[in-house]
Amino acid sequence: MYKRVILKLSGESIGDKLNHNGISENSLKEVAEEIKSAIGKTKVQLGIVIGAGNILRGKNVDFVERTTADYMGMLATVINALALQYILESTGLTTRVMSALEIPRVAEPYIRRRAIRHLEKGRIVIFAAGTGNPYFTTDTTAALRAIEINAEILLKATQVDGVYSDDPKKNPNAKKFKCLSFMEAINRGLRIMDTTAFSLCMENQLPVRVFNIYRKGNLLKVLKGEDVGTLIK
């Protein structure tokens, strides 16, 4: 069983079920219930990095220059973090939102030692605003925060049950991988995370497990160290 982990949630995971846009109360509650159940039974120290694909991706905004667009995306992750915080706390969990951009009225500034102290006290820490710098994805943020807080593993929550050789929704012959090395994932061009995130994990020997968070009980199994989804190491 792990002691401390980082869970990477996409913005789409809390969007509506049809097109994954906006913020869905039902999706938030579904994710929150998985987290509450898993944390209640394991007492794992949990940090969460959340994306903003349900609202805005900086690299997809072509009407402003990239740096500004990325800052817009960082602010969108703060919106998602606050929504997730509210739902998690409504279940009885204690959380803190820490932002890489200073927004003191709504979130604490990210300070590594303070984040670790929150985790040690049993609080779930939600990391928002990416790294605070443009041109870096929230996957890279998740890898960076995991390394900084000495997490044992990075959990990449998805809507499929692991990593496949092709899109399993389009190709019924797609092969599921149980275990991959980082170089295999990079060389195969598998779009699990960006290359910067992979490189950070590989250089710091941080394993990554990709799994389906929508399958009830999966997060608990992962936190217990069970072989769910795909392990990249």
Q: What is the model's pLDDT at position 78?
A: 98
pLDDT, tens only, 176-224: 899 999 999 888 888 889 889 999 999 999 999 999 998 999 999 999 9
Higher pLDDT, 169 or 114: 114
C-alpha span between 5 and 19 (Å, rounded): 29
> Based on C-alpha coordinates, what's the Rg of the chain?
17
Q: Is 80 exceeded by the pLDDT of residue 169?
A: no
CATH of the domain at 190: 3.40.1160.10
Please give the distance of CA 190 from its chain centroid, rounded to a whole number: 18
Show the domain range for 62: 4-232
Question: Do you know the residue count of the chain?
Answer: 233
Residue 191: predicted pLDDT: 81
Q: What's the pLDDT score for residue 62?
A: 84
| Cα 209-128-55 angle, rounded to 5 deg | 90
Q: Record the pTM.
A: 0.95
Give pLDDT tens digits for 112-126. 999 999 999 999 999
Q: What pLDDT shows up at residue 2?
A: 96
When pLDDT is averaged across residues 122-137 and rounded to a whole number, the result is 97
The string of pLDDT tens digits covering residues 19-76 is 888 999 999 999 999 999 999 999 999 999 999 999 988 878 888 999 999 999 999 9
Task: Name which of 9, 3, 4 is nearest 211 in CA terms.
Answer: 9
CA dist., res. 140 & res. 142, Å (int): 5
For the chain, the domain total comes to: 1
Q: What is the mean pLDDT of residues 144-156?
A: 98
Most confident segment among 2-6, 17-21, 61-65, 159-163: 2-6
